[in-house]
Structure 1
Amino acid sequence: MNKDQNIQEEQKYNKWIITLSIVVPIAVAILFGVRIPNVEPLSFLPPIYATINGFTAIILVIAFFAIRKKNIVLHENLMTTAVMCSAVFLVLYVAYHMTSDSTKFGGEGVIKYVYYFILITHILLSIVIIPFVLITYVRAITKNFERHKKIARITFPLWLYVAVTGVIVYLMISPYYIN
């Protein structure tokens, strides 16, 4: 395939990228406010989805080093795994919030502002990262590697930040969960 064919192949995915980039955050926001009646709260999920965030961060770093060493197959497999981990995280996160009340952060003083800064940037970037991940992934699977590399330089640190801050937010709020 030549460069123009790669771009045409990539463009076939644009409607999906746009749709998912809009629908996922809206659906999460809507489902976040939905409570499933008469269902036992899924209070065991936060440490699980925080662990998935941690695994995602580790996978991203290993994938980064794999591609630096030109281990393309390992990089591809790891990135596919990272995308799947993020999808599983999202399902578990929504399931938890559909069955449980949100936990309020109980820290005071400077730590409260640090927590909310991390939380707000985590939430905003978790929305922003959706199209970046999808575009980066599509450029790889359509073998548009030059364009893939350009956007991956932006996607990688943003996605890593979201994964790492997801763990930090969990660790900071975990003492305040009601069991």
Structure 2
Amino acid sequence: MASVTFAGNPVTLIGNEVKVGDKAPNFTVLANDLSAVTLEDSKGSVRLISVVPSLDTGVCDAQTRRFNEEASKLDNVKILTVSVDLPFAQKRWCGAAGIENVQTLSDHRDLSFGEAFGVAIQELRLLARSVFVVDSNDTVVYAEYVSEVTDHPNYEAALEAAKQAK
């Protein structure tokens, strides 16, 4: 498993680490309207999945805004941001932040995404900062587990992987 810290303290990630070349595991999360969303719902598109602990923190806010800005430059790429924030809070945050190009999804109910992708932090019931790119055939073509949860991911590498994916 990836070695991850939160504010310098080691944390335990639950689930299976996902690696490049793996078939992306399916999951069920909630959209802002409480409807269930799965990986299969976006089959046929490239997915850039941005994972953040909480939209109400500085780095998570910046990460989601950055991918929202970049979304218009990407063809056939859906950007999904997954956190354990409640769907109502995600909807409020998106409205206040003017986020329109990223779909925010909540994993608060049962950590389905967190466990499927190995990013659920056992000690905090949050998700570890990470970015995945899944191609239109559901193969993982990029995976970054950010080693310190309070740090930014490698935006350029993730965006380049999304541009190259088919």
Give me the TM-score of the superposition, normalised by structure 2: 0.28
Which structure's residues are more often helix, by fraction? 1
| Structure index of larger Rg | 1
Which structure's residues are more often strand, by fraction? 2
Give me the TM-score of the superposition, normalised by structure 1: 0.27
